[in-house]
Structures are given as structure tokens and as C-alpha cells.
Structure 1
Amino acid sequence: MAHGDDKGLVLPPKIAPVQAVIIPILFEKTKGEVLAEASKIQYSLEEAGIRAHLDARDAYSPGFKFNEWELKGVPLRIEIGPRDIKNGEVILARRDTGEKRNVKITGLKNAATIALESIQASLFVKSRKFVETHITEVKDYAIFKKIVEDGGGFAQISWCGDSKCEEKIKEETGATLRVIPFDEKVKPKSKCVYCGKDAKESVYAARAY
């Protein structure tokens, strides 16, 4: 999956309901101080247009929260505890790479904004590369069926435009026509991969899983 790994989802920041989760490290003596600072950070991030959430639940350990929010794919995690407050900093962790670094609280808005832009760009490049390496141009129907059967990603095929051919392809292979690209014209003299008639469209086909 392009937007996931063994730990769960890896959401692009632009579509993530929560872009940054703040996880306070709570101890009884310093709980009030840490939550107050965490709330200020949440407000500051939201002022900068970042969708932030403060996980102030005290029934769960920080480790449990880390795993839960990683599973949900939240792009950024911000950790703050009493020692961090003394140092005037937080720990900023990226979901996509797992990179963690110390960031001064005074520079957190800027650092978080830059990190979210970097994550968005990185995931876009990764997704495009994934798509490009999982597309096979196919002219022979037997080869097309094998690609579909082997789960080989998308097959780029020529199609006559007749819904009967589309239905037969689905019936015989389980694959459906997924995309008709706007910017890809069918090549001259191309033939429909199923019936052999003149092709009208270049399409991407794949089986849904």
C-alpha cells in the first residue's frame, strides 16, 4: 500500500484529519504544568493553520498513544514532558520516516509547517514512483490475464470502447477498467486487447482486492 506500512496508515498531511498530535509525558507532580504547556502548543499550531490534537488521556501510557496514533497515520507527533519544558523544547517525530529530533518550542510552528510540507512532497513522489513501477503496457490478452492473475498492478491496454468487451474482460479475469487518462491518446493502429477491433481509448485495468 502506498500510504501505509507495517505500523498502519501513513496519511498525506493535506488529507489527514489530524496533522499533528501532541502527547504529554505525565507525572503526578508535573501533570498540570505539562498539560498547560501542551495546550499552549496546540493553540499555537492551530493558529498557524495546523490541525492539532492534544491527547490528554491519563489512562494510557505514552507508548500506547504513540502506537495508536502511528496506526492512524497522523503525520507528526509532538512529545513534551517536564524535562523538555525545562529545556524549552519538544520532540518532533515524523510518521513517514520515523525521524525524531528536538525542536525549540519557540520555533515549533515553523518547524512543524516545514515538516508537513516535506512529508506531503515525499509521499507524493513515493506514490508516483509506486504507480509508475506497477503499470505494464499490454497488447496480448493472454499476457494481460496472467498479469491480472499474478496481481501485477495495473495493465495499460487498448480498448475499443464497447461495453460488451469491458464486461467480458471483467467476467473472464475479474479485472475492471479503472482509469481512462485524459492526457494519454490511444496509439495509431492500436487494437482492442479483447476483440481486436480498432481501439478508441488507452485505459488502465486491474483487479480490485
Structure 2
Amino acid sequence: MKFDASQFDNLELENIGQWPAAAKLILAVFLAIVIGFLGYMGLISDQMKQLDRVFYEETTLKESYRAKYHVAANLDLFRAQMVEAEDTFANQLRSLPNSHEIPGLLDDITFVGTTSGLDFVKLEWQPEISKEIYIELPIDIEVIGPYHSFGQFVSKIAGLPRIVTLHDFKISISQSDSEILNLKLQAKTYRYQEEAAK
């Protein structure tokens, strides 16, 4: 079959039966492509999207299963860790002063300072600072004394049975005696916020 472009010049849609074989073949291939494309778009692409969604859901479910299997397989270990964490939390709570012990804490700090060889210039509570699950109780402290007494003081504060942290250290030399230093700092203790636990 020879290809002659002139045979396509006078083609009319009303007279398809009279078209040359090459033109009919081209039309048939074109229609097959259009029908195939429309069929793909109408039927297969929706199925492909659904298949992708199902594969994604399967992957998600498998990951969820693995995580739950890991928890179930180690459930006794997790329970033991939970009991241990609760015990640790309870011990930490016991280290926090309750509202009845807070006034005695000033006495403890005063005793620690004086037995370390320091003289108190200032020891006063500051306003409470409410945090998420605890209340911060700052205490401004100013003491004077020799350098080594400061070390003893800090060491003894760390040894108190209740949690007390020290912040914002400022050390300066006394104007009257170069052997005597002035220490300003803020001690903080903490109280559990009962309402936050509920």
C-alpha cells in the first residue's frame, strides 16, 4: 500500500465508508486511543487512587500493630517502669516542703549559715511563682563572711532534706575588710501544686 497524502484531501465524515483504508486505519487507531484514555480516566484511575489509599491504610495499620505489639510484648516491663516512675515521683514529692515545713526552712537556712561562719544581712521570702505543677518559693539571701564559709554554706544547703536550689550568685569584697566577702543569692524551694494534680 502506497501512502499518498492527496487521498486525504476530500474526506468527509458523512462518507466514512468511502475513505481509503489508510484513513480508516488512522481513524480507528485514534478512536482506540481516545476510548482507552477515557476508559482509564473514568474507571481505572479511580481504582488506582483507591488502591493507593488502601496501601497507605495498610501501611499505617501495620505500623500501629507493630507499636501495639511492642507494648503488649513488653507490658510487664512497662508496668514495672511505671511503678518505678511513680515511686520516684512520690520520693521527689516527699523532698518538697509542705506548707507547714516552709517556715522551718528559713530556720534551717539560718542555722546552716551561722554554723558555716556567715552573718546574715538579709533573709526574706519573695512572692510565690506558680508553675504548671509546682509553686516556686524564692528567698533572697545576703550574707557576709570569709570565702571558705561560702563553700561550707552551699554544701550544707545541698545536704538539707528538702529540695533547695541556689541561683543568681553575686560576690563582692567588703569595703571595710578585704578578707570578708559579701554574697547575694536567691534560694528557691518548691511546693507541689495540689490543684494541678487533679
Superposed pair shares fold, TM > 0.5? no
Q: TM-score, normalised by structure 1?
A: 0.20
Q: Which has the higher helix share?
A: 2
* Higher Cα Rg, which structure: 2
